[in-house]
Structure 1
């Protein structure tokens, strides 16, 4: 942050354009200062504020206003003092920024197109109607520190001892006092080795020792059930975002197919050159 941080922390009160404006007359083109005739506008200040970390955005209005304005005044003075033409890095940065902002504006325009209820309903049915949503699992486990301890517990279970009682007596995990019960869970909710072991079990079956970062597990699968499809309203926002994304991608595909694109394949260009920032100073 550097220069921004120093200016804002100093919160220097500046003597440029401190008069009040009628709120209704203020616009992004309202001039707040002139430095050797060069205008600094409220729009310039708004863009600086948007680039600041949240900790600075929450400063009191006067402190923030004065700090940003002083920063822009200093930058304008330094910019005017520099007689050198824009460097290659400056020119390319400006080109990239302009390209990025214009592209973002196009994507925003496409994204603002309304999504019909029919399209949302169709997307919901395609994703959930008659589609197997997989299984949920109800399991219990005993967590111990060593594989040998896990094997001993499996022997006790096979000998007829109650799994829940063993979990209460031996498990080092937080579910131990509850008999090792983990409740219902679906795919992606457990660490991969644990999840894979559960998936491979039959209801009522006890696993072999399973190693995870937490230790060694002995797992009992109690029940399974089909995952119910969510209600439309519960996934509406996600579906709308997916539809908007698909619409943007479709528009982009059309424009790309219509564009005259020539990718220059030069064997002398090492792909690693994209990491050589020193090229900008040559």
Structure 2
């Protein structure tokens, strides 16, 4: 079985390109080739080591992916500083240290794996028919009741009882929530929107189910979050999510499955000998 985290990383790498205009891997490669910087164009030398336009372009892309503003001069200076530190690390023999050498090799393998997937994007394209079929399968069992409610969340039972008394005296639920609730829905007058029974903790949900639309709880409801006063606004049959709403999520899953199958085929064709004794890793899980 392929490790899911690796499949997810590869899928993200592939989707990062498909999201840019939805073009195939072939057309993306053609565009990259036509606009690729000249590898012979030296933009700087650091202690005699040449930094090329390709190196600079890679640095600009790395800065952009980190959310930094892309400034060519700034990128060049950062590239030079990286080269200086890399040369110093080499001089001090850091790449020969086993842990550092293993980390470098792991990062290299990860980068090559992502580019392998990107180079074969058209093999992982998902058709409209596949998306529709996945959508129908995912939503086939949509059923049950959804609820639309408000609540006022308070720290003390006595505070909740005071809110109920004010409601009995004719106060508006939304106004009381805005002025008194400690929950994140306070600014919305306690509005929780539409939810299913599975989305709420049991004591809260039991009270919601017992209410008629337009009514509120006559006793405070305790959960691990505090004391609630709840008002049920509406109920409806569970709504099937729209195809467009789910399309991106479904595409990600299907592309990930195709990548998983591809990596599985590589395993099937490979000769793999595991010599690890089966002991636990120092950190994390190997599952």
- Provide, for residues 89-116 of structure 1, a one-character-per-residue CA deviation record: whole Å limited to 9, x for no partner: 3432332122111221233345543221
8 A contact 1:136–1:227 mirrored in 2? yes
| 1:166-193 residue CA offsets vs partner (Å, 9 max, x unmatched) | 7756971398999x67374224997646
Distance 1:163 1:228, change over 3 A: farther
Please name the residue that 1:221 is paired with. 232
Larger radius of gyration: 1
Task: Compute the TM-score of the two structures, normalised by the length of structure 1.
Answer: 0.64
Q: Deviations over 1:50-93 (max 9, x none)?
A: 4448789426433432x135315534653675578833234323
Q: Mapping of 1:192-271 within 5 angstroms? A: 192=201, 196-197=205-206, 200-204=209-213, 206-207=216-217, 208-211=219-222, 215-266=226-277, 269=279, 271=280
Query: How far apart, CA to CA, are the structure 1 residues paired with 2:153 and 2:68?
Result: 48
Supply the RMSD in Å over aligned alpha carbons: 4.3
List gaps (5 residues or longer) in structure 1. Answer: 1-23, 276-282
Return 5+ residue gaps in structure 2 as ranges. Answer: 1-34
1:244 CA displacement: 0.8
Structure 2 distance, partners of 1:254, 1:177, is: 53
Structure ranking higher on relative contact order (CA contacts 8 Å, 6+ apart): 2
State the distance in 2 between where 1:165 and 1:119 align. 49
Task: Please state whether the residue corresponding to 2:135 is helix, strand or coil.
Answer: helix
Which residue of 174, 195, 198 corresponds with 1:186? 195
> How many residues align structurally?
244
Question: C-alpha separation between the residues in 2 aligned to 1:79 and 1:220?
Answer: 65
- Assess, with a 3 A threshold, how the Cα gap between structure 1 residues 173 and 94 changes in structure 2: closer, same or farther: closer
Q: Is the 8 A contact 2:197 2:205 kept in 1?
A: no
Equivalence for 2:43: 32
1:140-151 aligned within 5 A: 140-151=150-161
Between the aligned partners of 1:238 and 1:150, the Cα distance in structure 2 is 41
CA contact (8 A) 2:152 2:190 kept: no
2:54 is the alignment partner of 1:43: yes
| Contact 1:40 1:72 (C-alpha < 8 Å) held by counterparts | no
